[in-house]
Amino acid sequence: MAFGHSHFKSLPLAFVLIGLLVGAGCTATAVNGRLYIRTGPPPVVVERVPVAPGPGYVWVPGYYRWSGREYVWVGGRYEVPPHARARWVSGHWQHDRHGYYWVDGHWR
């Protein structure tokens, strides 16, 4: 059976997902394009917010990311909003029947 070029485009992603699942001891699964983690993240780290580097900066809180084996804390940072009325909506871990998945933070 001959495969067209388009069949091979998703192979790298498939290998990455398989690697994540095997490396995680099957604590993660991929469903509908989302990576689900069986267990939820640890409690959020209470960060000491440093003084802003200048006027107009907004503090973007830290969060836990999934490393493929465990949750790893990513510290917060200051950012300049894309426009004057922009508000930061923090990323968060959402839970449903498949497990926990990450919802990215964004400017609104």
Report pLDDT digits (tens) over 74-100.
Answer: 999 999 999 999 999 999 999 999 999
- Domain-embedded: residue 3: no
- Confidence (pTM): 0.72
- Domain-embedded: residue 77: yes
Give the number of domains in the chain. 1
Q: Provide, rounded to the nearest whole percent, the portion of the chain with pLDDT above 90.
A: 72
Quick check: 22 pLDDT over 50? no
pLDDT band (50, 70, 90) for residue 17 = low
- Domain-embedded: residue 76: yes
The two tokens of residue 72 are 């790893």
Residue 6: per-residue pLDDT = 45
Cβ atoms 90, 105 nearer than 8 A: yes
Quick check: 16 pLDDT over 80? no
Range of the domain at 94: 8-107
The arithmetic mean of pLDDT across residues 45-73, rounded, is 97
Residue 26: per-residue pLDDT = 53
Q: Provide, rounded to the nearest whole percent, the portion of the chain with pLDDT above 70.
A: 76
- Domain-embedded: residue 71: yes
